[in-house]
Amino acid sequence: MLAKNLSPIEKIKTESSGLRGSIIESLYNEITGAIREDDQAVIKFHGMYQQDDRDQREERAAKKLDRLYSFMIRLRLPGGFLTPRQWIASHEIAGKNSTGVIKITSRQTIQLHGLIKSKIKPTIAAFNAAELDSIATCGDINRNVLCTSNPIQSPIHEEVFAYADKISQLLMPKTKAYYEIWLDQEKIVDRKVEEDPLYEDRYLPRKFKIAIAIPPNNDVDVFANDIGLIAVIENNKLLGFNIAIGGGLSTTHGNTNTYARLATVIGFSDTEDRTLKAVYEIVTIQRDFGNRSDRKLARLKYTLDRVGLDWFKEELERRVGFELQEARPYQFTSRKDYFGWVSDDKDVWHYTAFVENGRITDEGKVKLKSALLEVAKTGKANFRFTCNQNVILSDVDLQDKSGVEEILNQFGVVANTEASSSLRKNSMACVALNTCPLALAEGQRYLPTLISKIEPILKKYFLEEEEIIIRMTGCPNGCARPYVAEIGLVGTALGHYNLHFGGDRSGQRLNRPYKENLNEESILMELDGWLGRYRLERRMGESFGDYALREIKLN
């Protein structure tokens, strides 16, 4: 790649002195809530995005007020796990420094919105005190590592889950900038001590996502990741992982060179040592061969399709020094969360509470945020977040179960989880307006209303028990993974969405674009027609996604 063709972000990375940039100077600037433009790229590597309230842009400009800038901070939570003490800390920090809403993301972590510039340092300090950090949760680097969330998925869930943290540690940047800038730790004088053989000074060409799935549940959408590890378990023993590479869902409207792609399984590795080595070297190949001039074509999926699967595998085996074994058979049947109480064989209980669009707040009828705080205060439950943006109060002993349940009842959590329709519980939307700078249309602020209008249609056709997966994003970048939904809605402009049909229930197939730029009326009309026909024409046990695909192929 010629240097002059490098995208501007590449220069910012290499000149950032280990992800420091001029963030400190930016923080000192009292007259703006923003940080310098280059620093906006750098701060992502520290787990933050600069955003502004887009609803207020025009109004504030007329008032001679600058845009209302704030920051979103996202935690690094490999496998999506918090102790009750850490939840209490997060609760307090959110109330003090951000909008108060704790958002469970589609990547198993939590994020806070609306942090003003001066609150960043106290926020990070408070998280640090709770042994939490936000390192590398955004930016061109390995992001939060996912793992199938519910411990009942396997008796050896804990062993598999541990890989999430190991991979996260393995792929952490070496720079101490995070501690220096946000936690006032001593300045590194000799930058040699933080030399980074993995990321060097250029990091990755683009974001990098890794997920670990325990079949048959594909709750993590393992194929939507750059690297997907599928645990192969026999007789409660972890044999190793099938390794899939090159997944990624983001596309760009109008750019036909961009596409959503599911990861391809390239083989199997047995020992921990080998698996980690393979993961590491897949990252180094992407570092060395990824497209650094066009960010829209920079994800591993494009690299892979450009160099070819065979070449990639060969290069990988050369770098790791061993051959991958042939992939083991695996089967996914669902992508679901187990709402309500479930128990594993050790009589340890887990309660999955429904959290609409992952927003934990006391705003609505359900005082979820208060409920979770009370549960955390008992110290009897851990907190696990699912990739469907729900929360599991996990690892509850039988003797503590009724106490936890009482709290959940008291705040209406149980009633809400039980009363919400299947469609709602299987829905997911991204943040979009008013804070996401990329949003073209509404996401989480609108989907709940739309679902309320779809529910009567389902009822009309006696389909309300169907677990149809519906997902909405405000732009084509796919944060809520709409391209692997049975009903996908991808925002194109305010009030307008592309409608996608035909994803399968377990996330092993991309859906198809069906119609473009539909408004609400047209969306509801289409859904009414399709769901009505589905009711009449479906085969035994056929999911809506499978039916829709069959129909689209016919026509």
Partner 1 sequence: MIAETKLSKLKELIEDSTEKELIWINGYLSGLVNSRTGVAPVQPTFTQKLTIVFGTDTGNSKKVASGFAKQLKQKGAQIKLQGIDQYRLADLQKEKYLLLVISTHGDGEPPATAKNFFDYIHNNSLALNELRYAVLALGDSAYPLFCKAGEDLDARLGELGGSRLLPLEKCDTDFEDVANTWIENVTKTIDPKSTSNQKKIVSPKVNGKKNYEAVILSNTNLNGRGSAKQTHHIELSASGVAYEPGDSLGLIPQNRLVLVNAILDETGIDPTKKIAYRKEEITVYDLLTRKVNIAYLPERLVKQYATIVGQAIPVTRMDLLNLIKIYPTKDVAQFEEVIGILEPIAPRLYSIASSLAAHEDEVHLTVVRNCFSVSDEVEYGLCSDYLLSLPVDAHLEFYIHKNSEFKLPDSEKDMIMIGPGTGVAPFRSFIEERNSTSASGRNWLFYGDQHFESDFLYQTEIQNYVQLGVLTKVNVAFSRDQEEKIYVQHKMLEEGKAVFDWLESGAHLYMCGAKSPMADDVERALVTIVEQFGKQTTEEAQAYLNQMKEDGRYQKDVY
- CB 370, min distance to partner 1, A: 24
- Contacting partner 1 (CB under 8 A), which of 4, 58, 62, 540? 62
**CA-CA distance, 359 to 106, in Å (whole number)?**
11
Within positions 32 to 51, which residues make up the interface with partner 1, using CB under 8 A?
A: 32-33
**CA-CA distance, 540 to 233, in Å (whole number)?**
31
Residues contacting partner 1: total by CB under 8 A = 16
Query: 81-99 in b/e burial notation, b at 16+ Cβ within 10 A?
Result: bbbbebbbbbbebbeebbb
- Contacting partner 1 (CB under 8 A), which of 2, 30, 197, 553? 30
Closer residue to partner 1 in complex, CB, 54/60: 60
- Contacting partner 1 (CB under 8 A), which of 60, 295, 296, 533? 60
Helix, strand, or coil here: 77?
Answer: coil
Q: Both tokens of residue 240?
A: 């190793």
Within positions 97 to 116, which residues make up the interface with partner 1, using CB under 8 A?
A: 116
- CB 13, min distance to partner 1, A: 26
Q: Are 518 and 496 within 8 A, CB to CB?
A: yes
Q: Are 7 and 294 within 8 A, CB to CB?
A: yes
Stretch that binds partner 1, among 25-33, 99-107, 454-462, 463-471 (CB under 8 A): 25-33
The reply to whether 56 sits near partner 1 by the rule CB under 8 A is: yes
Containing 432, the helix (H) or strand (E) segment is: none
The reply to whether 28 sits near partner 1 by the rule CB under 8 A is: no
Stretch that binds partner 1, among 57-65, 153-161, 332-340, 519-527 (CB under 8 A): 57-65
Closer residue to partner 1 in complex, CB, 61/398: 61
Q: Both tokens of residue 451?
A: 């679902």
Residues 492-531, one symbol each (x = binds partner 1 by CB under 8 A, - = not), give: ----------------------------------------
**CA-CA distance, 114 to 97, in Å (whole number)?**
8
Query: 67-78 in b/e burial notation, b at 16+ Cβ within 10 A?
Result: bbbbbbbbbbbb
- CB 395, min distance to partner 1, A: 37
Closer residue to partner 1 in complex, CB, 5/118: 118
The reply to whether 61 sits near partner 1 by the rule CB under 8 A is: yes
Q: Are 247 and 268 within 8 A, CB to CB?
A: no
- Contacting partner 1 (CB under 8 A), which of 31, 189, 193, 540? 31
Closer residue to partner 1 in complex, CB, 57/460: 57
Question: What is the Cα Rg of the chain in Å?
Answer: 23
Q: Are 202 and 13 within 8 A, CB to CB?
A: yes
Please state, in angstroms and as integers, the Cα–Cα distance from residue 242 to each residue in 238, 331, 359, 400, following that order.
11, 12, 33, 38
Q: Which sequence positions are flagged as catalytic?
A: 74, 143, 207, 209, 430, 436, 475, 479
- CB 265, min distance to partner 1, A: 50
Neighbours of 541 (CB within 10 A): 6
The reply to whether 63 sits near partner 1 by the rule CB under 8 A is: yes
Q: Both tokens of residue 296?
A: 């829209």
Residues contributing to the site for partner 1 (CB under 8 A): 30-33, 56, 59-66, 68, 116, 118
